[in-house]
Amino acid sequence: MNQNTQSQLKTDVCIVGAGPGGALLSYLLNQKGISTMLIERQPHLHKSFRGELINVDGEAILNKHGLYSLIQERGALLLEQIQYWENGQIIHTVSPSNGESHVGIHVPQDHLLEAIVSHAQQHSSYEQVHFNTIMTGLLRDKNGQVVGINIRQNGVPASIEASVIVGADGRYSAVRKHSGMTPEIRKHGYDLLWARIPAPVGWEPAVRMASMDGQQLALFSQFGGYVQIGWNIPEGAYSKLREQPIAPFVDKLVSAFPCLSDSVAANIQSWSDFVLLSVESSYCPSWAQDNVVLIGDAAHTMTPTGAFGLNAALEDADVLSELLVQMAADQFSSTAQLQKLQTIRGAKVQQQLARQVEMESSFQQRYESFL
């Protein structure tokens, strides 16, 4: 794109956001020969502290499109059990359901996104991801009809004309905001502290749960020899917590999981070794308006509980790709198909959102039943 003048690009489907939902959708549409542009505000695909646990639904979508084996080549870790711990001892284990080989698969998000994008690039018609490109608003014609988006690419304003605009731009979706689709937001009474540290030698791949002051403390084994710590704290409590010395807090972690003591001592020395996630979920009453449609976190943000969010974004992309193929066959003359995404996917998403609330509120009771 010319750096000095405002340019206008053109495509059939413009996807905002190269997260799991946007990357998969762009790949699927490209395979069907549909002209697609994928824009991403960041300069690369690398993400830190994002959803990285694939469940059986996400695995099925990736297998369906021949992508899972490519991800495996880059590296993925099957988690064999969910373990509940008390004072350094396992008190209960949950094994994979009948016929399943894992309770979740850890896939570094780089591996997921790079596998999808690099496989897509094998098709000569695939446009590279437009990095450093931020959606700043909707482009409208003189009747107010949305005909594309405004962007800033490498700081230079431009626009993209498109028949359909897909907001795959996450929990704070700009596409959602500019199109006036307002989500219903729910707080869950807790926030989450994340940290990633090297796993002890011989650490079995599992999800490990403990209860700390009545809150869930979870450890997720990660590919590459890491442990991700996800520690629920009362909503809004972090600023007060940070005023206190970290040592007593970290001591609680080590008392729950003594085998982590060396790694914790070497890697968690200050509050800045944790990252805070302000937890909320949301559901958009409407996922589509005219020729603008939302998928993934933009349509329905989930909490980390149960690891549904990333998988739901993949499922949305899979369903929407089929609807867009039907629309392309009709030269995008009608946008009614876009409403069908929510008709097909909405009920399952709402069940998962309700399940999260149920899992969160029953955690302590479930945990105590194992004692």
Ligand X SMILES: Cc1cc2nc3c(=O)[nH]c(=O)nc-3n(C[C@H](O)[C@H](O)[C@H](O)COP(=O)(O)OP(=O)(O)OC[C@H]3O[C@@H](n4cnc5c(N)ncnc54)[C@H](O)[C@@H]3O)c2cc1C
Binding region for ligand X (CB under 6 A) = 16-22, 39-42, 49-53, 134-135, 168-170, 174, 194, 277, 296-298, 302, 304, 307-311, 313
Residue 84: CB minimum distance to ligand X, A: 18
Instruction: Tell me the closest approach of the beta carbon of residue 83 to ligand X, in angstroms.
Output: 17
Q: Which is nearer to ligand X, 148 or 170 (CB)?
A: 170
**185 DSSP assignment:** E
Nearer to ligand X by Cβ, of 23 and 328: the residue is 23
Cα–Cα dist 279/236, whole Å:
10
Angle at 352 between CA 281 and CA 360, to 5 degrees: 65
Please state the closest distance from residue 173 (CB atom) to ligand X, in A: 7
Tell me how far apart the alpha carbons of residues 219 and 231 are, in angstroms, rounded to a whole number.
8
Residue-wise burial string across 119-131, b where 16 or more C-beta atoms lie within 10 A, e elsewhere: bbeeeeebeebbb
**Minimum gap (Å) between residue 24 Cβ and ligand X:** 8
Strand partners, 278: none
Q: How far is the CB of 89 from ligand X (least distance, A)?
A: 26
Report the residue number, 138 or 328, with the smaller CB distance to ligand X. 138
Of 231 and 257, nearer to ligand X (C-beta) is: 231
In the bound state with ligand X, the residue whose beta carbon lies nearer, of 12 and 104, is 104
49 vs 238, beta carbon nearer ligand X = 49
Contact by Cβ (8 Å): 212, 219: no
C-beta of 117 vs 250, nearer to ligand X = 117
Which of 171/261 has CB closer to ligand X? 171
Tracing tokens 């707080």 back to the chain, one arrives at 187
Within 8 A by CB and 6+ apart from 202, the residues are: none
CB of 344 to ligand X, least distance (A): 17
Q: Least CB distance from residue 371 to ligand X, whole Å?
A: 27
Number of Cα atoms under 13 Å in the Cβ half of residue 59: 17
Nearer to ligand X, 38 or 260 (CB): 38
Nearer to ligand X, 18 or 260 (CB): 18
Q: How far is the CB of 249 from ligand X (least distance, A)?
A: 19
CA dist 334 to 209, 256, 329, 352, Å? 49, 57, 11, 31
Min dist. Cβ of residue 303 to ligand X (A): 8
Give the integer Cα–Cα distance in Å for 95 and 81: 5
Closest separation in Å from C-beta 13 to ligand X: 15
Contacts of 234 (CB under 8 A, 6+ apart): 189, 190, 191, 215
Phi, psi of 282 (to 5 degrees): -150, 160
CA atoms of 101 and 204, how far apart (whole Å): 15
Strand boundaries in the chain, DSSP class E? 8-16, 36-39, 53-54, 77-79, 82-86, 89-94, 104-106, 133-140, 146-153, 156-167, 184-187, 190-198, 207-212, 215-222, 226-234, 275-277, 280-283, 288-289, 292-294
Residue 346, C-beta contacts closer than 8 angstroms, at least 6 positions apart: 287
